[in-house]
Structure 1
Amino acid sequence: MLPPSSVQAHIFLSEVTTLQFLAETKVPAPQALPELISHSASRTGQFYLKHSDDKGDHILVDDDFNITGIIDWEFASVEAKELAFSAPCMMWPVGDFYDGNNTLSDDELHFAEIFEKKGRSDLAAIVRGGRRWQRYLFFLGGGIPSDKEEFEALFQGLRKSMLVEGEAEPSTYEEWKRKVLAEFAKENAQFKQLLDAERAKADNAATTTTN
């Protein structure tokens, strides 16, 4: 499915802008960003319709389990090949996903095998390497929890999914946070004042508690 050229340009630009922002804030490993952009099918102008609410309850079947319809299209979008053909979330190991673990489920691996048997090794590769795109879209789509521990686990899962071969495991969330805040403080005097004031406030609170 090909949207108008103006829409294609907008989608690609929005992808690049978002990835650049993530790189500047050190969210994923920067080494992975050129690969994501250069390998994205959006560079060739090929897009696909994706049903983004793919938890499984959107598929209607009859008594013999024949598919009779697909509902809940309100979140559908036109996406690059990597996003469109990565495994639907109904196949994800949800507990592992929320714990920051990027191991694929048996269903996802079987899904990839089906594509291989159909002669679509390209789609099989997308399924096997789909976690980075799924986590990328998960954060962009507003799936960020308010619970601190849950957020940190998901955030670390995003960072780990962006690692390139041979790269060391990412630092902890707190280490990343301290480093990024320090870097921002170097570049922005007003932010540094706010950060220093917040740290002084925390130190005073700790001293009061100790006394």
Structure 2
Amino acid sequence: METSEFHRCPRVNSREYEVAGQEALVKELRALFQAIDVNALTMAASELRGGVSCFVKHFRFDEASLRPAMGAINLHLELLFDDGLSWMARLKRRNTSTLPAAVQPYLIRSEVATYSFLRKETKVPVPEVFAYALDSNNPVGTGYILMETIKGKNLLSTSPTSGQLSKVLAQLAEVYKELYRHPFPLMGSLDTPGSTNIGPVIHDLMADLALTNNGDRSTHQLANFPGPFINLRDYYRTLIPRILHMIVVGELYPFWAVDAFLIHRFLFDLLGRWSEGIKETGKFYLRHFDDKGDHIMVDEDFNITGIIDWEGAYTAQKTEAFTSPIALWNSKEFFSERKTLSNSELEFARLLDGTGHEGAKHPTNINLGDCVRLGKIFQRFRICVGYTLYDENMENYRKAFMGLLREFAIHDEESWEEWKNFALKKYSGDEKLACLLRREG
């Protein structure tokens, strides 16, 4: 659950942004290192290995050193043991992207449960987890996971030739096929390490938080996660009303609340018109949440050494679970309102052909290759619901939404401006929309 191309800051030139971002990053990390006990972390790791000493690999507070260790939510520290072994410590950052403290224990536990399942039940290459802490109530001072270091570079940081990329795709197709061999009965997230139990989808927008008083301090406690769900439609029927409420109260999309409200209001209505594609029940498959390419680790020969960063993973129905990874998208085409697949997606689809078709006559009973070919509708819907976007991304977001309408073959000839005028008239009687329009003047 790390950064996506949507999460960028607007209204400054690129150089000013880089300087301001680097200063904020260094300030955040210095504060984090003051708040945590690194010695407690290395001692915990040493004890797990029978007393073999270790230390945190040093890095400088400059962009070249920090960026590879940072995600939007996690900081990664490499622990080096005296005998040459290396472990990775995954710690929660403290910034504007950080999820509420009440949510983090559930996210960590679900991630550990996912690694546990993948290592025990499948052949998917993932790191081994040695220890974890769910929250800051431990000697280290923050929630963390201690895990095996996966050697190699992430695919996003490499420049593979077409042949090397084909080699990666062939291996990734085997990962997809392996995940297909292990269905689950519900849509949700693994929630108990060592178990295959499916609980609610661990998503920050799905968290019901209760404000409680603890002496002089007010803190949030998790009251509820809804779910698990029997199909994708029920999931969105729960999620979208929450987003609409957050838009109205100013917690989401504050700079373009009317546009966001209209989009989500229309998408909610669209759920009732969607085909069997989101009503499928019975079998669900584990899906990586943030498959933009840096989750795939490769060696110098482009052999996959591991699939990492399973934070936020959830089980999805086949037609959504086996869409193409973000890493294979042609972003220009994706945001052009067209359905065009990249050459890599087409190649990946061919590698998956023949897997996942049981032969029964059912609209959703297609092979995994066709899940890739027909997957843009799921990808665009997922992007259009709940993403936090900044001003510079609005045009791409609108294009993704208009592309979604093309998928449904509705409002085929309309521009964004024409569609917005239609939606304003359609929902003119909605009191929440009227409130937003008054607020924006």
Whole-Å Cα distance in 2 between the matches of residues 160 and 18 of structure 1? 23
Cα distance, 1:31–1:47 mapped onto 2, change above 3 Å: closer
Cα distance, 1:19–1:146 mapped onto 2, change above 3 Å: same
Query: Residue 133 of structure 1 aligns to which amino acid in structure 2?
Result: F
Cα distance, 1:185–1:31 mapped onto 2, change above 3 Å: closer
Residue 396 of structure 2: aligned partner: 150
Whole-Å Cα distance in 2 between the matches of residues 153 and 91 of structure 1? 19
**1:16 to partner: Cα distance:** 4.2
Please say which structure displays the higher CA radius of gyration: 2
Could you tell me which of 366, 375, 386 is aligned with 1:130?
375
Deviates more, 1:186-195 or 1:109-118: 186-195
Residue 48 of structure 1: aligned partner: 285
Query: Residue 140 of structure 1 aligns to which amino acid in structure 2?
Result: V
**CA displacement 1:56-96 (0-9 Å, x = unmatched):** 11111223322221111113222121111011111111112
Whole-Å Cα distance in 2 between the matches of residues 88 and 116 of structure 1? 16
Cα distance, 1:64–1:141 mapped onto 2, change above 3 Å: farther
Whole-Å Cα distance in 1 between the matches of residues 302 and 412 of structure 2? 44
Query: Residue 185 of structure 1 aligns to which amino acid in structure 2?
Result: S
Whole-Å Cα distance in 1 between the matches of residues 427 and 331 of structure 2? 34
Maintained 8 Å contact 2:355/2:367: no
Higher relative contact order (CA 8 A, sep 6+): 1
Cα distance, 1:145–1:84 mapped onto 2, change above 3 Å: farther
**1:143 to partner: Cα distance:** 5.8
Maintained 8 Å contact 1:49/1:76: yes
Residue 180 of structure 1: aligned partner: 423
Matched residue of 2:353: which SS? Answer: helix
Higher percent of residues as helix: 1
Maintained 8 Å contact 1:32/1:162: no
Matched residue of 1:52: which SS? Answer: coil
Whole-Å Cα distance in 2 between the matches of residues 124 and 143 of structure 1? 31
**1:26 to partner: Cα distance:** 3.5
Maintained 8 Å contact 2:349/2:369: yes
Deviates more, 1:85-94 or 1:114-123: 114-123
The alignment status of 1:106 with 2:327, answered yes or no, reads: no
Whole-Å Cα distance in 2 between the matches of residues 159 and 73 of structure 1? 31
**1:173 to partner: Cα distance:** 1.1
Count residues in correspondence.
Answer: 192
The alignment status of 1:171 with 2:409, answered yes or no, reads: no
Matched residue of 1:56: which SS? Answer: coil
Maintained 8 Å contact 2:333/2:340: yes
TM-score normalised over the length of structure 2: 0.37
Query: Residue 71 of structure 1 aligns to which amino acid in structure 2?
Result: I
- What is the aligned-residue RMSD (CA, Å)? 3.6
Query: Residue 236 of structure 2 aligns to which amino acid in structure 1?
Result: E
Whole-Å Cα distance in 1 between the matches of residues 436 and 383 of structure 2? 33
Whole-Å Cα distance in 2 between the matches of residues 112 and 191 of structure 1? 45
Matched residue of 1:33: which SS? Answer: coil
**1:27 to partner: Cα distance:** 4.6
Whole-Å Cα distance in 2 between the matches of residues 113 and 16 of structure 1? 34
The alignment status of 1:39 with 2:285, answered yes or no, reads: no
Query: Residue 33 of structure 1 aligns to which amino acid in structure 2?
Result: R
Whole-Å Cα distance in 2 between the matches of residues 118 and 193 of structure 1? 48
Maintained 8 Å contact 2:427/2:433: no
Query: Residue 124 of structure 1 aligns to which amino acid in structure 2?
Result: G
Maintained 8 Å contact 2:330/2:341: yes
Query: Residue 54 of structure 1 aligns to which amino acid in structure 2?
Result: D
Cα distance, 1:85–1:168 mapped onto 2, change above 3 Å: same
Unmatched segments (≥5 aa) in structure 2 = 1-182, 187-197, 200-226, 245-261, 358-365
Higher percent of residues as strand: 2
**1:140 to partner: Cα distance:** 2.4
Matched residue of 2:290: which SS? Answer: coil
Whole-Å Cα distance in 2 between the matches of residues 64 and 89 of structure 1? 22
Cα distance, 1:33–1:143 mapped onto 2, change above 3 Å: farther
Maintained 8 Å contact 1:23/1:29: no
Matched residue of 1:8: which SS? Answer: coil
Matched residue of 1:34: which SS? Answer: coil
Whole-Å Cα distance in 2 between the matches of residues 60 and 111 of structure 1? 18
**1:12 to partner: Cα distance:** 5.0
**1:97 to partner: Cα distance:** 1.4
- 1:10-49 maps to which residues of 2 (within 5 A)? 13-17=234-238, 25-27=265-267, 30=270, 33-35=273-275, 38-40=276-278, 43-49=280-286
